[in-house]
Each structure stands twice: as structure tokens, then as C-alpha cells.
């Protein structure tokens, strides 16, 4: 496992370069540094995928509750209009 400072530097490098796939990582030429960097890439991509999933989940819940509130407002409006027409 890479030292935390080295791993942090590699993660920053991945983020700056916009790496989004394992193919963006170095193809290990047999060197231990390349193998370590590839392992860090696996973990980083997993962390990024989890962050994206959580963000999408939050967005989904926001949209869902917004839709429910809009439907409730329409129903309340229809009830109010129908009550005013009955008088």
C-alpha cells in the first residue's frame, strides 16, 4: 500500500487529469510503483463512483419530493376551486 502522502498526490493527479476509467491509469510495466499506482487508481475510481451514486441518489430524492409537493399543490388548488364554485 502506498504511503498516504504519495496516494494523496496520485489522487490529486487523477482529479486534475480528469481520469475516469482504469485505462487512464498507467499500465504496469512490472515496476512496484506502477502496481501501487494502479491499486490507488482502483480505489480512487471506486470512491468517485460511490460519490456519483450518492449525488444521483440525493438528486433523485429531491426531484421525487418536489414532484409530490407539486401534485399536492395541484390537488389542494382543485379542492379550493371546487369549494369556491359550490358556494
Chain segment 19-49, per-residue pLDDT in tens: 665 565 555 455 677 788 888 888 888 888 8
Q: Cβ of 41: how many Cβ atoms within 10 Å?
A: 20
48-70: pLDDT as tens digits:
889 999 999 999 999 999 999 99
Do the beta carbons of residue 44 and residue 14 sit within 8 Å? Answer: yes
Whole-prediction pTM: 0.56
Integer Cα distance of 37 and 8 in angstroms: 11
Whether pLDDT at 78 is above 90: yes
Amino acid at each position: 500500500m502506498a504511503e498516504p502522502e504519495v496516494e494523496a498526490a496520485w489522487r490529486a493527479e487523477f482529479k486534475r487529469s480528469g481520469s475516469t476509467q482504469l485505462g487512464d491509469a498507467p499500465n504496469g510495466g512490472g515496476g512496484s510503483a506502477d502496481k501501487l499506482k494502479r491499486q490507488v487508481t482502483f480505489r480512487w475510481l471506486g470512491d468517485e463512483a460511490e460519490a456519483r451514486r450518492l449525488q444521483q441518489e440525493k438528486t433523485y430524492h429531491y426531484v421525487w419530493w418536489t414532484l409530490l409537493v407539486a401534485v399536492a399543490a395541484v390537488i389542494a388548488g382543485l379542492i379550493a376551486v371546487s369549494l369556491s364554485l359550490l358556494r
